[in-house]
A and B are shown apart, each in its own frame.
Chain A
Amino acid sequence: MMSKAEVKGRNPIRAVSVFLLLCFAAALPFLTQKQYLLHVIILANILATFALSWDFLAGFMGQLNLGHSMFFGIGAYAIGFITMAYQIPPILGLILGGLIAVFLSFIVGIPCLRLRGPYYAIATLAFSQVLFTLAMGLPKLTGSEEGITKIPKFIVSIKGNYYFSFFLLVAAVVALKFLFRSKFGKRLISLREDERLSEAAGIDTSAYKIIGAAMSAFLAGVVGAYNCYYHGNVTPDMLSISLTFSVVAVVVFGGIGTLYGAIPGAYVLTFLNEYLYFLMNYRLLIYALVIMLMLLYSSGGLLGLVRERLKVFENGNTQSK
């Protein structure tokens, strides 16, 4: 039996635990001297935010993007190019990174999202390969494998970056949460449930898909730009298939279409990655195995497993397809 508070997603136990987690996260830089731990958490936050943007498109709207790294990478390269020539305020840089990703998403989205079927997935995969080729093949412009280096950091201290990465993650979660409560967001979700039906209900499905994809691209572009500022360089790796694949692994592992699933997924995979060096060569192999096992045995992912155990019901869209 669900109480009214649970139906509205105001479970007090959950609210308290989220609050405690946030407090712990805020206090952590003062509790530990390990810079490396903070660095790993920043990486996990970046990955989680990026994964959220993928999950938004795939898990909530039902549009699979297999070249998502291109939005991340293009945001990063945009910062790289701009900071070489001009001095711009970093916040403007982040927004600019997002806008360029939006532009890119229109180029791929407008021809492909009008259609039903696998076209968008294939075209994004193809286009990310094109961009990767360009990044590798134009050494004068992009620095080829070396990438663009010595980009000025906008937050120098690791603590500042730690808080900023948390800010991005929490802002993304809150924004998406509000979006899904709005009418616009509910229409986006209806695309996943039954596209033909929502079209029959008078929703301009192509326009909604294109706008939704652009929003996802914006988030990815902003995170990509931030990632570029944080590391101070851009490399073609940020456009690679393996990055896209890591994001898919994070979301599928955490639970596709669950919104929060991306966070534990990103943390588990990042910590495995950074603390188990001997697994380095087997990283993608393990991701692939995880994805295949998850889809065969529990498509709800980690969060789905936990929820089954706890029988916690979320407001609305808990179930992925």
Chain B
Amino acid sequence: MVLQILISGLLLGGIYALMGLGLSLTLGVMRIVNLAHGVFYALGSFVIYSFVVQAKINSFLALFFTFIIIFFLGIVIERILLKPVRESEMNVMIVTFALAIFAEQCIRLGWGVMYRSTPPFFRGELKIGQLFLDYQRMLAFGIGMAIIVGLVIALKKTKLGKATRMVQQNYEMAMLLGINVNFVSMLVYGLGVGLAALAGCLLAPLYLIFPAMGWTPLLMSFAIVILGGMGSIMGTVIGGFLFGLTTLLTSYYISSGMVNVVPFLAMIITLIIRPGGFFGKEIF
């Protein structure tokens, strides 16, 4: 049973890493504390629900469409809402907090408050001895990992990726060197919330869907980013796996209601011991 939990935890951790990476990008590159990250996760789940259950589109196609929709939604929001207030960290936090509540209420009005679920992309499970691994979890893990690896390669090798890292390292210098900082920020925000939506799509068949579902993943992502160190992709991925494990362990041994407590404790302990995170550079 322990092995079962460990493996399921690792598989879940892959998706958390995907979410954390989205947040880490917006936080690291744009220096925007995106409190609406969680609501895009919820939005991803609801949009794919509409595609798969209501419009009866193939799951993989729906995944792709959802990502595109949320990506462009993110870009529009960055232009209208975030660009004007970017100078003040506090205003950014208040605006994204308001955005999170706004979108949650829109979901509530648009889809209703019922608990829903979507069918899995693949049914069935793999049985190895005592272990049961359902295909959906493995698929979600596979897609998540593929996206993370693809993203890392894109950040390291492509021109746009290098520009993004430049903006992350030194905003003003990037501007001086002729990098279109606004354009990069816009894309990064779209990508960041798109990754949250993808995580929402991939986990939609495994958990119940409801309008307020985004807050726990939001805090989980912040905990991952703080634990891993801001701006460290490696730290984010490791943090993701760690939280995947602890989530499953707490929900199995204590109670699934207590999952919220884990990110908070981890956050506080990290901030006490090593405020810069365990894999990031020392920032204080």
* B94 proximity list for chain A (CB < 8 A): 64, 248, 252, 291, 295
Most buried by B among A62, A122, A242: A122
Q: Which of B85, B102, B255, B275 contacts A295 (CB 8 A)?
A: B85
* B128 proximity list for chain A (CB < 8 A): none
Closest 3 CB pairs of A and B: A288-B102, A291-B98, A137-B257
User: Measured between alpha carbons, how far is A115 from B98 in the docked complex, in Å?
Assistant: 24
Most buried by A among B90, B216, B268: B90
* B35 proximity list for chain A (CB < 8 A): 66, 125
Is B93 part of the contact surface with A, judged by Cβ < 8 Å? Answer: yes
Q: Known contacts A122-B222, A245-B101; is A112 also within 8 Å of B255 by CB?
A: no
* B219 proximity list for chain A (CB < 8 A): 122, 125-126, 129
User: In angstroms, how far is the closest chain B Cβ from the Cβ of A280?
Assistant: 12
User: In angstroms, how far is the closest chain A Cβ from the Cβ of B104?
Assistant: 8
* Nearest neighbor of B230 in chain A, beta-carbon distance: A117
Q: Which of A136, A137, A248, A285 contacts B106 (CB 8 A)?
A: A285
Q: List 25 A-B contacts (CB under 8 A).
A: A66-B35, A66-B93, A66-B97, A111-B271, A111-B272, A112-B271, A117-B89, A123-B267, A123-B271, A125-B35, A126-B222, A126-B223, A126-B267, A136-B257, A137-B258, A241-B215, A245-B97, A252-B94, A281-B109, A288-B99, A292-B81, A292-B95, A295-B91, A296-B81, A296-B84
User: Measured between alpha carbons, how far is A285 from B84 in the docked complex, in Å?
Assistant: 21
* Nearest neighbor of A126 in chain B, beta-carbon distance: B264
Most buried by B among A117, A245, A249, A252: A117
Is A149 part of the contact surface with B, judged by Cβ < 8 Å? Answer: no
Is B226 part of the contact surface with A, judged by Cβ < 8 Å? Answer: yes
* A242 proximity list for chain B (CB < 8 A): 101
User: Measured between alpha carbons, how far is A319 from B264 in the docked complex, in Å?
Assistant: 34
* Nearest neighbor of A118 in chain B, beta-carbon distance: B33
Is A299 part of the contact surface with B, judged by Cβ < 8 Å? Answer: yes
Is B261 part of the contact surface with A, judged by Cβ < 8 Å? Answer: yes
Chain B 17-42 interface residues, beta-carbon cutoff 8 Å to A: 33, 35
* B105 proximity list for chain A (CB < 8 A): 282, 284-285, 288
Is B88 part of the contact surface with A, judged by Cβ < 8 Å? Answer: yes
Contact with B along A77-121 (1 / 0, CB 8 A): 000000000000000000000000000000010011011111101
* Nearest neighbor of A58 in chain B, beta-carbon distance: B90
Q: Are A121's CB and B264's CB within 8 A?
A: no
Contact with A along B201-226 (1 / 0, CB 8 A): 00000000000000110010011001
* B268 proximity list for chain A (CB < 8 A): 108, 111-112, 123
| B interface with A by C-beta (< 8 Å) | 33, 35, 81, 84-85, 88-91, 93-95, 97-99, 101-102, 104-106, 109, 215-216, 219, 222-223, 226, 255, 257-258, 260-261, 263-264, 267-268, 271-272, 275, 284
* B97 proximity list for chain A (CB < 8 A): 66, 245, 248
* Nearest neighbor of B90 in chain A, beta-carbon distance: A64
User: Measured between alpha carbons, how far is A319 from B102 in the docked complex, in Å?
Assistant: 27
Is A287 part of the contact surface with B, judged by Cβ < 8 Å? Answer: yes
* B84 proximity list for chain A (CB < 8 A): 296
Q: Are A288's CB and B258's CB within 8 A?
A: no
Is A315 part of the contact surface with B, judged by Cβ < 8 Å? Answer: no
User: In angstroms, how far is the closest chain B Cβ from the Cβ of A258?
Assistant: 15
Q: Which of A58, A119, A284 contacts B101 (CB 8 A)?
A: A284
Q: Are A118's CB and B260's CB within 8 A?
A: no
Q: Are B255's CB and A137's CB within 8 A?
A: yes
Q: Are A130's CB and B261's CB within 8 A?
A: yes
User: In angstroms, how far is the closest chain A Cβ from the Cβ of B255?
Assistant: 7
Is A127 part of the contact surface with B, judged by Cβ < 8 Å? Answer: yes
* Nearest neighbor of A248 in chain B, beta-carbon distance: B94
Q: Are B260's CB and A129's CB within 8 A?
A: yes
User: Measured between alpha carbons, how far is A248 from B100 in the docked complex, in Å?
Assistant: 13
* Nearest neighbor of B222 in chain A, beta-carbon distance: A122
User: In angstroms, how far is the closest chain A Cβ from the Cβ of B149?
Assistant: 28
Is A133 part of the contact surface with B, judged by Cβ < 8 Å? Answer: yes
* A296 proximity list for chain B (CB < 8 A): 81, 84-85, 95
Q: Are B90's CB and A133's CB within 8 A?
A: no
Q: Which of B33, B85, B102, B255 contacts A122 (CB 8 A)?
A: B33
* B260 proximity list for chain A (CB < 8 A): 126, 129-130, 133
* B91 proximity list for chain A (CB < 8 A): 295, 299, 321
User: Measured between alpha carbons, how far is A286 from B223 in the docked complex, in Å?
Assistant: 30
